[in-house]
Amino acid sequence: MAENKSDLMEKIVSLCKRRGFVFQGSEIYGGFAGTYDFGPYGVELQRNVISEWTKAMNERDNMARLDSSIFTAGSVWQASGHVSGFSDPLVICNECHSKQRADHLLESVGVVADEKMTEVKINQIFDENRGKVKCPVCGKKKFSKVSTRSLLATSSLGMFEEGDEQVYLRGETAQGIYINYKNILSTGMYSVPFGIYQVGKVFRNEISPRQFLFRKREFEQMEMQYFVHPKEARVLYEEWKKERMKYYERLGIKKEKLRWKQHENLVFYAKEAWDIQYEYPFGWNELEGIHYRGDYDLTQHQKFSGVDMSYFDEETKERFIPHIIETSVGVDRTMLMVLLDAYDEDKMSDEKRVVLRFKPNMAPVKVAVFPLLKNKPELVEKAKEIYKTLKKEFGAVVFDDNGNIGKRYRRQDEIGTPWCVTVDFETIEKDAGVTLRDRDTGEQKRMSVEEIISLVKSQI
């Protein structure tokens, strides 16, 4: 294991760049804070994360998938309460002018505060602790007053005249689901209780985006809203909590690194809220939120749009506004957790190596195919043939003839490739299959290509 926790984050950031997972956004212009670009293996990891989540949602009955627009009428965010209540407390360092979150600075000196406090309250607590709080950039203790800043990012899309309604980039995908709930119902395919789920980009004007993929300004969410009868809400909420925690076994996450944390101060829409937390190198922090939102969202949209959001139960002849259970998790935050959880350092053949022990379904590359020697055309030709066969089966397969075999293994270990296939002279001369090398044990076995296909299939 990596020697110490703060090291681990740096090692992950550097591995991600070196091996083509994640790059700083706008890097050649000095970077644009809170944005990251995904390289070839980052894209594959992202796809695996989304695909596993989508599969888990789709395995349940009564679940509708949606892809709603990033841009909506501005009134959506008025109705949802985001325009008035979705903000973070900002303080500016008077010395170096860096912008910081007041609640994070207070937390760093052991003072309990959170972003949901009123401006007056957090100013009062900040003033009481001014002597203790240091700027994390310059170390000075001189700060401005605390002012709350909206997390919603504005846009001018479709705004041409003064007085046009302000447009926002979406701050969560959930609102797209609420405003389409009647459309989904009118397909006649769903009845309460049922769920709508979607994956999509979200934008937040984070004051101090930090910790790599943990807190970004542009990120992706995987959200599910479950519409239920109010009387069933508490029971179904508990079911969803259990299901979501169990889900992380599918990603291969170590059980002891996950725990529950209940929200003490609820956000404006929630009746009850629990987080699944992960132990990141910078401490336990939120991975996924599971919220019981009551009838807040549908009632608000009914009020603002004038559209009746009630549901009529044909069997019981009852009319009611469904209550909502929400599960919400970031793609990027999940990717960070999967990377951190998989990272390991050990020794193989007396050599130190870095290895990402991804569960095969998360691995960006499933199999790497090597010819034993690069300068033997018969080996290269056979290896290319096997590579094409495997690629047709699994897609995420690479051909590598660069450097000696040891170097190629190390490279694939760092990418987290579970299996490497080597084509040697026995493959050609004796039709003796290929060698399959296991990432975690280093064990090598001779196998036929058909056997490899069924082994990989059974593992992913």
Residue 216 interacts with ligand GAP (CB under 6 A)? yes
Least distance from ligand GAP to the Cβ atom of residue 171, Å: 7
* Residue 286 backbone dihedrals phi, psi, to 5 degrees: -60, 135
Q: How far apart are the first and last CA of the chain?
A: 25
Considering the complex, state which of residue 217 and residue 382 has its C-beta at the smaller distance from ligand GAP: 217
Distance CA 65, CA 51 (A): 13
Contact characters 331-360, ligand GAP, x per CB under 6 A: -xx---------------------------
Residue 174 interacts with ligand GAP (CB under 6 A)? yes
Considering the complex, state which of residue 288 and residue 341 has its C-beta at the smaller distance from ligand GAP: 288
Least distance from ligand GAP to the Cβ atom of residue 215, Å: 4
Distance CA 420, CA 409 (A): 7
**Single residue of 42, 289, 371, 433 touching ligand GAP by CB under 6 A:** 289
Return the residues of window 218-277 that contact ligand GAP according to CB under 6 A. 219, 221, 223
Residue 413 interacts with ligand GAP (CB under 6 A)? no
Residue 286 interacts with ligand GAP (CB under 6 A)? yes
Helix residue ranges per DSSP H, 164-320: 174-178, 181-185, 233-247, 296-305
34: alpha, beta or left, given left = phi > 0 and alpha = psi -120 to 50? left
- All residues at 6 or more sequence positions from 366 whose CB lies less than 8 Å from its CB, including other chains: 360, 394, 396, 397, 417, 418, 419, 456, 460
Residue 115 interacts with ligand GAP (CB under 6 A)? no
Residue 329 interacts with ligand GAP (CB under 6 A)? yes
174: alpha, beta or left, given left = phi > 0 and alpha = psi -120 to 50? alpha
DSSP E strands in 86-229: the ranges are 87-92, 99-101, 147-150, 154-155, 167-168, 194-203, 218-228
DSSP code for 427? H
Q: Which one of the spans 39-47, 160-168, 212-220, 298-306 is the region binding ligand GAP (CB under 6 A)?
A: 212-220
CA-nearest of 252, 245, 249, 250 to 277 is 245
Contact characters 127-166, ligand GAP, x per CB under 6 A: ----------------------------------------
Q: Give the burial class of 333: count Cβ atoms within 10 A of its Cβ; 0-12 exposed, 13-18 middle, 19 or more buried.
A: buried
**Single residue of 172, 279, 295, 413 touching ligand GAP by CB under 6 A:** 172
Q: Are 401 and 380 in contact (CB under 8 A)?
A: yes
Considering the complex, state which of residue 170 and residue 366 has its C-beta at the smaller distance from ligand GAP: 170
Least distance from ligand GAP to the Cβ atom of residue 152, Å: 12
Q: Which one of the spans 329-337, 344-352, 379-387, 421-429 is the region binding ligand GAP (CB under 6 A)?
A: 329-337
**Single residue of 19, 104, 116, 215 touching ligand GAP by CB under 6 A:** 215
Residue 330 interacts with ligand GAP (CB under 6 A)? yes
Q: Contact positions toward ligand GAP, by CB under 6 A?
A: 172, 174, 204, 206, 215-216, 219, 221, 223, 286-289, 326, 328-330, 332-333
